[in-house]
Structure 1
Amino acid sequence: MNVQWAKSGDGEPRSQRSIARRLAVMFAVVALFVFALVGTGLFLVLRVQLEQHLRDSLDNRAEIARLIVSHVSNPDKWKMAKEKLADITPRDGSTMFAVASNDGLYNYGAPPLRDQIKRVQDHYGHFQPEGRAYEMLMTTLTIPPYMDRPPLQLFVAVDCSPNVRTMRAFGLALAALTALATVAVLFLSYSVARLGLAPLTRLTRDAQNVSPNNRSQRLNTRSLPFELEDLAKSFNGALERLDHAYGRLESFNADVAHELRTPVTILIGQTEVALTRDRPIEELRHTLQSNLEEFERVRAIINDMLFLARADQGERATGLVEVSLAAEVSRTLEFLEIPLEEAQVRATASGDARAFVNTSLFGRALSNLVMNAIQHCAPGATISVNIAREHGRVRIAVANPGEQIAPPVMQHLFDRFYRAESSRTNSRENHGLGLAIVKAVAEMHRGTVSATSAKGINTFAFSVARFGNEHRPMSEGGASAGAPLSAEHAQQARIAMGLSERHSTG
């Protein structure tokens, strides 16, 4: 198994973790456990069988010795019995016979001493004879008296060395085979894991081909295992979202560059013209007023970008105060009275509900929707603002007559940096962040946004939760939050008037 290395943050090489290597090691550990378990079972079974076989052999020899000794009735026959016991005793000493009695005449061999006996189980015992390397298995039989013979104690023992040698050889062979089998499983598992992870390697190669210059590259999900298919589809979905975000960001960068370049160019041109020769105070004042409008336009773009950046960080609306939304709509329409007159459109409001909102943010979102409606409806049209309750929220909808919006465009209208230039008129009068700000304000108030286009009416709506997190009005925060509303709306009105004058003079 090869070990891959990579550079760590401090420049030192470090070993990379390999899934194939980890799987191989885990399979080897499992195999070692199974082999050890099976080997232990076989070892125990073999030991029990050999022990039982040795006991059977010992019982047979003890029965023969018992038959020889039990028929002894006098000392003469005892001599014959001792000769028979000597005849059945192997020369290698693997079997031992001994007889003990109260009468020394009937003793035979060397019975084991009490301190030589180590283990006793049933009528079997193990003892270690002097001068022998291995223990012997012994059984003891009591022979009752017969005629002139007193009762006898018969000891029969067999050597355990064959069993010990067999178990030792079997244990060593089993350990060696287990080790070899584990190593074989380790290498075979690594090869199989590498083969099984081949689709993942292919996915890695496909992923490496994805770059900013090749954003359309996607992972090939054909012939993938189902475990990897969902991962590949999720990754392709992430690439798709990143591709769309990257495209919107490119478009936004171009739009912002254009929006900033235009006022900066105007500012530079007007300033250069003003500096070419002495100008009357009125001309300079007019130039400064025009420059101020351009500065306000630049500031609006920058403020929108900063606001959306804060919204991206999960910021929630604070300073919530319970207000009548109809009153807030009326205030907003009053501040936008000049843009409405310039566009020759009128606005009406209907419905009412009370909710906990940040009045400044609420007015900003509503102003964006009304300004969007003003820019995309013909003179003489009527813009309607409707307030309605729905499912614990309050929905504020702004509808205006206009050309129908295509369904593919509807899906992206509230996306940041998106401008449907081919579908909407006057798209160059905004920098593509107005509806995105509406969505951000709605989310700050735990609400949603929606857009519909049917029968010549385009409706853009956002909702806010009726109750804030505190479930109570905050009078102090409400007073401070409502203060900036007039200045902000006045600024938007001045920008709108400036755009209207610029287009009318153009």
Structure 2
Amino acid sequence: MSLYPRSLTARLATLYSLLVAILLLLLGLWLEYLIRDHFDEIDHMELTAKLNMIENLLDRVDSPAALNTLPRYLDDLLTSHATLSVSIRDEAGQILYAYQPDFLEPVKNGEVSSPSARWSVAGHEFIGHEVQQLLPLAQPIPVRVLLGLDITHHAHFLQDIRRYLWTGIALAALLTALLGWLVARQGLAPLKRITATAKRLSAERLGERLDLQATPPEMLELANAFNGMLNRLEADFQRLSEFSADIAHELRTPVSNLLTETQVALSRPRSTGEYQDTLHSNLEELERLARMIADMLFLAKADHGLLPNPAEPVHLEREVDALLEFYEALAEEKQVTMQLSGAATVTGDHLMLRRAIANLVSNAVRHTSPGGMIEITITQAKEMARLSVSNPGETIPTDQLAKLFERFHRADNIRSHHGEGAGLGLAITRSIVKAHGGDVAVSSQNGITSFCLSLPLSGRQSTSYHRGADADGE
């Protein structure tokens, strides 16, 4: 079990109160030290002052008469000082003078050489000092003066200060914990708004967003990331919905054709030739379905990063040249010429790259006006190979260009009725190029449409290459 509370608010409040308690504790210890040091200084000054006064009186004892009057002078000096205790003894230990000697009992037989000496008697605390002095008589007499000062009132004051101080620190820590909890709770309110927004999300309510104006600067990055996630989620969900609808639409036509033709064929007895014609027609629809399903599986693998990743050198000019030979008959039928120039070598899977380029060439052949020329140009710039496929034809509207690479999308009234494609070719091309670390772009203006593939160059580059419309090969 964790020693820390699970609640983030409780953690912040606990840490905040602990920090304040530690600071108050250090402040209390410092104040206690200053007060105690101040009292010690006052007590030692008073002790030293009284000791000096007694020493001055003893210095005046220069005759037996002065020695006899010494106790009276000392009584006059000490009567108003109830916190003092004095003992004066001769060399043999005989007491020459004593004032409240009971308080000196613990140290009367010992040497007190420092003012820092402390002892306790009957609940009273004392500090004391002892000095040796000579009485200036005809025959000097050595004496020992022991002076004690009662500091009980200072000790009690320090105890009260300590008690009030620690009680105040404890109360301040508790109050700080409460205030810290309230402040943390208020400060974490944006997290609660994020939670509330997340709870409201559903397939029908993906438009919820956090209000960035009401978000603290410390949480602005989190709020932006959360809103960005919602934007991507909404866009992906929208694409998924459109993709599902497009799949249903694209599969409905061939399935309906198969059902209709089969029902017509079974409506009455037919000859073997008629059944064969029906099967051939159904076979075409089934092949169309198989291609569509294979394309969708390919895109699904691309989305999940499951495409093969071989590192073989691919000469783009050779792949394009092979494709031009393949489409040569179709191009001649449509009175379209094709021209290739440039060369570059990239690293990847030549079959996938050939498929990506084939989709562009196939589109160009289908949509080029009779008598037009398809120009395929390969260039190298900034460690990237660029393959451009340009063909004359109807200009694609600007608002349709960004959608050309979406699945099942075909520009309205321009590329909708040319061929049997399902609208997956360009999406496959983009997935292949992305898998190779490149990108694809399209532009269409003044009757010229150009698709450009950008791929990282390989270490070994091809030499210059040119294939005209009438060339047979390399």
Q: Partner of 2:15 in structure 1? A: 26
| 1:364–1:68 distance in 2 versus 1, CA, 3 Å | same
| 1:364–1:90 distance in 2 versus 1, CA, 3 Å | farther
Give the TM-score of the pair, scaled to structure 1: 0.78
CA shift digits 1:89-115 (9 cap, x unpaired)? 579974221224324456545575499
| Structure 2 runs not aligned, ≥5 long | 99-103, 463-474
> Aligned to 1:349, what secondary structure does the other structure show?
strand
Q: Partner of 1:372 in structure 2? A: 363
Structure 1 vs Structure 2: percent identity of aligned residues? 31
Q: Partner of 1:141 in structure 2? A: 131
CA shift digits 1:34-73 (9 cap, x unpaired)? 2222222211111111111111221222222222333223
| 1:354–1:160 distance in 2 versus 1, CA, 3 Å | same
Confirm or deny that 1:55 pairs with 2:44. yes
Say if 2:246 and 2:408, in contact at 8 Å, map to a contact too: no
| 1:347–1:252 distance in 2 versus 1, CA, 3 Å | farther
Q: Counterpart amino acid of 1:287?
A: T
Q: Partner of 2:212 in structure 1? A: 221
Q: Partner of 2:174 in structure 1? A: 183
Q: Counterpart amino acid of 2:47?
A: L
| 1:343–1:151 distance in 2 versus 1, CA, 3 Å | farther
Distance 1:437 1:117 in 2: 103
Distance 2:79 2:256 in 1: 121
Distance 1:96 1:171 in 2: 28
Structure 1 stretch displaced more, 171-180 or 70-79: 70-79
Say if 2:61 and 2:135, in contact at 8 Å, map to a contact too: no
Structure 1 stretch displaced more, 21-30 or 52-61: 21-30
Q: Partner of 2:385 in structure 1? A: 394
| Structure 1 runs not aligned, ≥5 long | 1-14, 474-506
| 1:105–1:196 distance in 2 versus 1, CA, 3 Å | closer
| 1:234–1:126 distance in 2 versus 1, CA, 3 Å | same
Counterpart selection for 2:243 from 231, 235, 252: 252
Say if 1:116 and 1:128, in contact at 8 Å, map to a contact too: no
| 1:270–1:25 distance in 2 versus 1, CA, 3 Å | same
Q: Counterpart amino acid of 1:80?
A: T
Confirm or deny that 1:38 pairs with 2:38. no
Say if 1:85 and 1:97, in contact at 8 Å, map to a contact too: no
Confirm or deny that 1:127 pairs with 2:126. no
Say if 1:103 and 1:150, in contact at 8 Å, map to a contact too: no
Kindly state the Cα deviation for residue 17 of structure 1 after the two structures are TM-superposed: 4.9
Distance 1:134 1:412 in 2: 96
Say if 1:117 and 1:126, in contact at 8 Å, map to a contact too: no
RMSD: 3.4
Q: Counterpart amino acid of 1:176?
A: T
| 1:395–1:108 distance in 2 versus 1, CA, 3 Å | same
Kindly state the Cα deviation for residue 295 of structure 1 after the two structures are TM-superposed: 2.8
| 1:171–1:462 distance in 2 versus 1, CA, 3 Å | same
Distance 1:230 1:247 in 2: 25
Q: Partner of 1:463 in structure 2? A: 454
Kindly state the Cα deviation for residue 229 of structure 1 after the two structures are TM-superposed: 4.2
Distance 2:258 2:247 in 1: 16
| 1:392–1:261 distance in 2 versus 1, CA, 3 Å | same
Distance 2:308 2:89 in 1: 105
Say if 1:72 and 1:149, in contact at 8 Å, map to a contact too: no
CA shift digits 1:281-326 (9 cap, x unpaired)? 4444443333333333223233333323332334575333324322
Confirm or deny that 1:264 pairs with 2:258. no
Kindly state the Cα deviation for residue 441 of structure 1 after the two structures are TM-superposed: 1.5
- 1:58-207 alignment to 2 at 5 Å? 58-74=47-63, 77-85=66-74, 94-105=83-94, 107-109=96-98, 113=107, 123-129=114-120, 131-147=121-137, 148-202=139-193, 204-207=195-198
Structure 1 stretch displaced more, 222-231 or 140-149: 222-231
Say if 1:95 and 1:156, in contact at 8 Å, map to a contact too: yes
Q: Counterpart amino acid of 1:288?
A: L
Distance 1:259 1:432 in 2: 9
> Aligned to 1:403, what secondary structure does the other structure show?
coil
| 1:40–1:406 distance in 2 versus 1, CA, 3 Å | farther
Q: Counterpart amino acid of 1:259?
A: E
| 1:94–1:305 distance in 2 versus 1, CA, 3 Å | farther
CA shift digits 1:219-246 (9 cap, x unpaired)? 3333544344444344333323322222
Kindly state the Cα deviation for residue 367 of structure 1 after the two structures are TM-superposed: 1.4
Say if 1:78 and 1:106, in contact at 8 Å, map to a contact too: no
Structure 1 stretch displaced more, 318-327 or 372-381: 372-381
Counterpart selection for 2:430 from 433, 439, 443: 439
Kindly state the Cα deviation for residue 459 of structure 1 after the two structures are TM-superposed: 0.8
Give the TM-score of the pair, scaled to structure 2: 0.82
Distance 1:424 1:248 in 2: 23
CA shift digits 1:414-435 (9 cap, x unpaired)? 3x43625447431794444322
Q: Counterpart amino acid of 1:95?
A: L
> Aligned to 1:151, what secondary structure does the other structure show?
strand
Distance 1:89 1:35 in 2: 43
Kindly state the Cα deviation for residue 174 of structure 1 after the two structures are TM-superposed: 0.8
Say if 1:128 and 1:136, in contact at 8 Å, map to a contact too: yes
Structure 1 stretch displaced more, 254-263 or 345-354: 345-354
Q: Partner of 2:349 in structure 1? A: 358
Say if 2:111 and 2:130, in contact at 8 Å, map to a contact too: no
Kindly state the Cα deviation for residue 88 of structure 1 after the two structures are TM-superposed: 5.2
Distance 1:200 1:329 in 2: 55
Counterpart selection for 2:325 from 328, 331, 334: 334
Q: Partner of 1:243 in structure 2? A: 234
Q: Counterpart amino acid of 1:97?
A: V
Counterpart selection for 1:385 from 362, 373, 376: 376
Distance 1:208 1:261 in 2: 37
Q: Counterpart amino acid of 2:117?
A: H
Confirm or deny that 1:306 pairs with 2:262. no
Kindly state the Cα deviation for residue 360 of structure 1 after the two structures are TM-superposed: 0.6
Say if 1:405 and 1:423, in contact at 8 Å, map to a contact too: no
> Aligned to 2:321, what secondary structure does the other structure show?
helix
> Aligned to 1:217, what secondary structure does the other structure show?
coil
Q: Counterpart amino acid of 1:38?
A: L
| 1:326–1:279 distance in 2 versus 1, CA, 3 Å | farther
Q: Partner of 1:477 in structure 2? A: none
Kindly state the Cα deviation for residue 355 of structure 1 after the two structures are TM-superposed: 2.9
Confirm or deny that 1:417 pairs with 2:386. no
Kindly state the Cα deviation for residue 198 of structure 1 after the two structures are TM-superposed: 4.3
